[in-house]
Amino acid sequence: MGTTTDARPTPDLMLWLEIFETQSRYAHAIDSDDLETWPAFFTEDATYTIVSRENHDRGLPAPILHCRNRAMMRDRVVALRNANIYEEHRYRHSTSGPVILEADGDSVRTETSYIVVRTGQAGDAEVYSAGSYHDTLVRTDAGWRYRERKVIYDTSRVLTLLATPI
């Protein structure tokens, strides 16, 4: 596959559609508050990291969230449901189509832009986060799963307690 500035289309349209569907279902699970299914989008040994663009660009390993495996992601959901106290809200994800950076058999590296709008109980909506996903997905018997998802946010701050996955 080409680089991010390569204007040539992805030669394998079916692969692109499969990756796009995986990303769409991921966002739908979060937006539908079906968080218990969120960890299933990852392999058991996957990592999920949220880091600022500034830290990412400088190579600083200072994420605001880092899950080292799917068990940690499940624990995060349990904490969300039982321990964290925050204003009830909804997310809406809007994503670009994924750019396939590299495809090697059953492994694919992609980059996708995203924006997340957060709507509170009063109906007020605000941009919660905007940035890009840097992903490595692998083909499994259950379909494509994230081995690594790095959320790199461009927004200068996180507006509320980072509770729900992005």
CATH number at residue 54: 3.10.450.50
Please, where are the H alpha helices in the chain? 13-31, 53-57, 70-82
Taking CA 137 as the corner, what is the angle to CA 72 and CA 49, rounded to the nearest 5 degrees? 40
pTM: 0.89
Is position 166 within any domain? no
What 8-state DSSP symbol labels residue 98?
A: P
Residue 15: φ, ψ to 5°: -60, -45
Residues 6 or more apart in contact with residue 2 via CB below 8 angstroms: 8
Domain that holds residue 83: 13-153
Residue 144 belongs to a domain:
yes
pLDDT for position 123: 85
Residue 50: name the closest of 34, 31, 65 by CA. Answer: 65
Structure tokens at 62: 């200072």
Q: Which residues of the chain have pLDDT under 70?
A: 1-10, 84-86, 158-163
Q: What is the pLDDT of residue 1?
A: 47
Number of separate domains in the chain: 1
Domain contains 125? yes
Q: How many Cα atoms occupy the beta-carbon half-sphere of 75 within 13 Å?
A: 7
Residue 3 lies in a domain: no
> Residue 3's pLDDT is what?
47
Q: Are strands 42-52 and 143-153 parallel, antiparallel or unpaired?
A: parallel
Question: For residue 5, is it within any domain?
Answer: no
115: β partners: 94, 130
42 occurs within a structural domain: yes
Which DSSP helix (H) or strand (E) runs through 137?
strand 125-140
Flag whether 21 is in a domain.
yes
pLDDT of residue 68: 96
Task: Give the pLDDT confidence score for residue 2 in this predicted structure.
Answer: 44
Residue 49 domain flag: yes
Judge whether 111 and 20 are in contact, CB under 8 Å: no
* Displacement of CA 7 from its chain's centroid (Å): 24
